[in-house]
Structure 1
Amino acid sequence: MLIAENKEDLQKLLNIVQEESRKKGLELNSKKTEMMVISRKQESPKCDIFTNEVKLKQTEKFKYLGTIISNDGKTNREISERTAQAKVNFQKMKTILTNKHISIETRKRALHFYIEPVLIYGCEAWTISKQIQNKLEATEMWFLRRMLRIPWTAKKTNERVLNEANKRRSLVRTIRKRQATFLGHVMRRGKLEHLVTTGKLEGIRSRGRQREKIMDGLATWLGTGKVSDILAAVKDRDLWRDMIANAYKQGT
C-alpha cells in the first residue's frame, strides 16, 4: 500500500515501484491495482493515477490486513463488516451456543473466545460514536437472545435478558479497555504512532459539528474529561492500569 498527501507524490511513488519491480523481472498488474482518495467531502475528489499508461480504478473502500479502509476516513463500514462476520460465525456454532443441555456459563465462554474476537478484531482503531455504541450493544443482545432462545414475540426487555443470562453488558467496555491499553503502549513508545495520535494539522476547521475522536471517547470513558490528563497519566504504567481497571469495573 502506498500513501501520499497529493496526486503528484502518489504517482511518483508508483513509478518508483514499477521501475524497481521491472529490475527484478516483475510487472505491476493494473487490473488488480486500485487507488482511493480519503476525504471528508460528500463526493470523493477524482484522482487520475496511471500505471503502464492505464488509468487505475478509483474505489470507495478496500481491505488491508483484514481491515476495511473507507474513503471517508470513518470506521463505520469496518464495524458493520465485523458485525456481519461475527453473526455468520455465530450461526456456524449455533448447535453449541443455543444448546440448552450445555450450561449458559460454558456457552458464554464459547461466545467470548470464538465469536467476540471476530467482532472486535482491530477495534483499537475504532471511533465509537453513540450510534456505533448502540449498534454494538444491539449485537451483544442479538447473541444473548439467540443463546437463550428468546423469540422477538416474547417482548422481553434487555434487562430481563441480561438477568436470565446472569451477565452484564461487556462488549463496549472490552473494546474501550483494549483501546486504552493500546494507547498506553503507543504513547510510551513515542514513535510515529505517537505523532499520528497527538499531532495537529494546520488550517481551518470545517463548518458544522466536528467528528468525534478516539482520544475524546477514551477521556470520557476514563472519567478524566480532558485529553491532556490522559497524556499525563499514561506515562505512569501503574496509574494507567488502575484507571483502566476502574473504568472497566464501573462500566462507564
Structure 2
Amino acid sequence: MVRGDRKLWSRSRNICRVKGSLLPLLLSKANNLFSSQDHHGNLLSAWLREFGSGRKAMTNLDSILKSRDITLPTKVRIVKAMVFPVVMYGSESWTIKKADRQIIDAFELWCWRRLLRVPWTARRSNLSFLKEISPECSLEGQILKLRLQYFGHLMRREDSLEKTLVLGKMEGTRRRGRQRTRWLDTVLEGTSMSLTKLREAVEDRSAWRALVHGVTKSRTRLND
C-alpha cells in the first residue's frame, strides 16, 4: 500500500514501492570495507571475516608477545592498539545482540589466553585471566564507547539523514511477538537512560564525555 511519497517495505518479498513503482533491493547486505551486516542488522555472517582478521593480527604479534623483555602491561597495550582496532572497524554502526556479545567476549578471552600462553586445556577460569590482565575496559565496552560517541555526534547535528533514520518513525505497527533489536535500542540499553534524557545529555559535551567514560569503564567483565 502506498500513500503519497511515503515508502512502505514489503515483509514477504525483497521489494519496496515508491509512488506505485516496484524497486527491487539488489543487495541483501551492506559492505563497508571490513564491516558488513544484512538488511536486518544481523552481524553473525560478518563475524568470521571480522574476527578472522583479528586472529591473524594477533598471531602476527607472536614474536613480540613471547618476548621476555617486554612487560605484561606493555603487551596488553600492544594488543589493544594493534589487534582490537582491526576487529572494531565500523563497530559504531553495529546492532549488537546477546549472541554477538558472547562472540566478542570469546574473542577477547582468546586473545588474553594467547597473550599469557595458556593452552585451552588448562583448567583456569575466565575470571582468573581478567584479574591477571587487569583490563581497564572490555572489548565490548570499547565498542559501546564508539557507539555512544557516534550517537552524541548524530544528536548534536541540527539536520542530517542519519539523525532522521535513527529517530524517524513510520506509520503502521510492528509484527507480533518479540521485536528485532534496533541500533537505538542498544544505545538505550547500554546507558540505562531514556531517549529524552540522552538527547539532553549530549548537548553538554563535557558531561557527555564523562557519562560515556563512566559507562564504558564499568565494562571490565570482572563482575561476570
Band of TM-score, shorter chain? 0.7 to 0.9
What residue is the counterpart of 1:159 in the other structure?
Answer: 127
Deviations 1:192-246 (A, max 9, x none): 111111111222201221111222222222232x222212222222221221122
Partner of 1:109, secondary structure, is helix
Give RMSD over aligned pairs: 2.6
What residue is the counterpart of 1:221 in the other structure?
Answer: 190
Instruction: Determine whether 1:206 maps to 2:175.
Output: yes
What residue is the counterpart of 1:192 in the other structure?
Answer: 161
Q: Is the 8 A contact 1:177 1:244 kept in 2?
A: yes
Partner of 1:200, secondary structure, is coil
Q: How many residues of Structure 1 are paired with residues of Structure 2 in the alignment?
A: 204
How far the C-alpha of 1:250 sits from its partner, in A, is 2.5
Partner of 2:36, secondary structure, is strand
Letter in 2 for 1:243: L
Would the alpha carbon gap of residues 87 and 203 (structure 1) be closer, same or farther in structure 2, given more than 3 Å must change?
same
Partners of 2:180 and 2:40 in 1: CA distance: 11
What residue is the counterpart of 1:136 in the other structure?
Answer: 104
Return the index of the structure with the highest Cα Rg.
Answer: 1
What residue is the counterpart of 2:205 in the other structure?
Answer: 237
Mind listing any 5+ residue stretches in structure 1 that lack a counterpart? 1-37, 48-55
Would the alpha carbon gap of residues 243 and 107 (structure 1) be closer, same or farther in structure 2, given more than 3 Å must change?
same
What residue is the counterpart of 1:31 in the other structure?
Answer: none
Partners of 1:69 and 1:162 in 2: CA distance: 30
Letter in 2 for 1:128: I
Higher relative contact order (CA 8 A, sep 6+): 2
How far the C-alpha of 1:59 sits from its partner, in A, is 5.8
Q: Is the 8 A contact 1:186 1:194 kept in 2?
A: yes
Report the TM-score when normalising by structure 2. Answer: 0.80
How far the C-alpha of 1:69 sits from its partner, in A, is 3.8
What residue is the counterpart of 1:68 in the other structure?
Answer: 36
What residue is the counterpart of 1:45 in the other structure?
Answer: 14
Partner of 1:204, secondary structure, is coil
- The structure 1 residue matched to 2:52, chosen from 45, 65, 84, is 84
Q: Is the 8 A contact 2:41 2:95 kept in 1?
A: no
Q: Percent identity?
A: 32
